[in-house]
Structure formats: structure tokens, C-alpha cells
């Protein structure tokens, strides 16, 4: 089973990882809270897992405009 990665802000696809165990391991290493994990991961009705991250473009925008960190989505 593969895991799809998308940007949490612009929703653009970032990539796909075939090894779900590796994704789980990387998430566990971050010592995130349950709420943070739930915000980051989404599974649809077909069992497709999506991890929401921040793409380079949105990261650049956030770096240049730190006030945007206050919003869940700054691109509508």
C-alpha cells in the first residue's frame, strides 16, 4: 500500500511512498501529539492514506510572511 503526500496549504501532490511502515516510523520519530497526527494523516473510504505536509513553495511563502502561520490555510 502506498501513501500519497500533498501540501496542506495548496493541496498540490508532493509525492508517493510505497513503504507505509517507513512513513509510520518517520511520523513516530517526530513525537507528535494525537491531534497533530490526526491533522497530518487522512484515510479515505477506499483505504488510501494521505499525509499532509508543506511543499517548498508554501514553505517559502510562510518564511517570508510569518503571520500566515496563524491560519490553517492561507491559499483558498
Q: Residues 4-29: pLDDT tens digits?
A: 999 988 899 999 999 888 888 888 89
Domain-embedded: residue 75: no
Edge-to-edge order in the sheet of strand 41-43: 13-17, 3-7, 49-53, 41-43
52: β partners:
6
User: What tens digit of pLDDT does each residue of 28-76 get?
Assistant: 898 889 898 888 999 988 888 999 998 999 889 888 888 776 666 556 4
Domain-embedded: residue 76: no
Domain-embedded: residue 33: yes
* Cβ atoms within 10 Å of 58's Cβ, excluding its own: 19
CA distance 58 to 61: 5
Quote the number of domains for the chain: 1
Q: 49 is in which domain, residue-wise? A: 3-70
Q: What pTM was estimated for this model as a whole?
A: 0.77
Chain mean position to CA 31:
15
- Extended beta strands in the chain, E state: 3-7, 13-17, 41-43, 49-53
Amino acid at each position: 500500500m502506498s501513501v500519497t503526500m500533498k501540501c496542506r496549504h495548496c493541496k498540490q501532490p508532493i509525492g508517493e511512498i510505497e513503504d507505509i511502515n517507513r512513513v509510520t516510523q518517520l511520523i513516530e520519530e517526530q513525537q507528535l501529539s494525537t491531534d497533530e497526527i490526526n491533522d497530518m494523516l487522512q484515510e479515505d473510504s477506499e483505504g488510501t492514506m494521505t499525509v499532509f505536509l508543506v511543499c517548498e513553495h508554501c514553505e517559502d511563502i510562510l518564511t517570508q510572511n510569518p503571520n500566515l502561520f496563524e491560519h490553517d490555510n492561507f491559499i483558498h
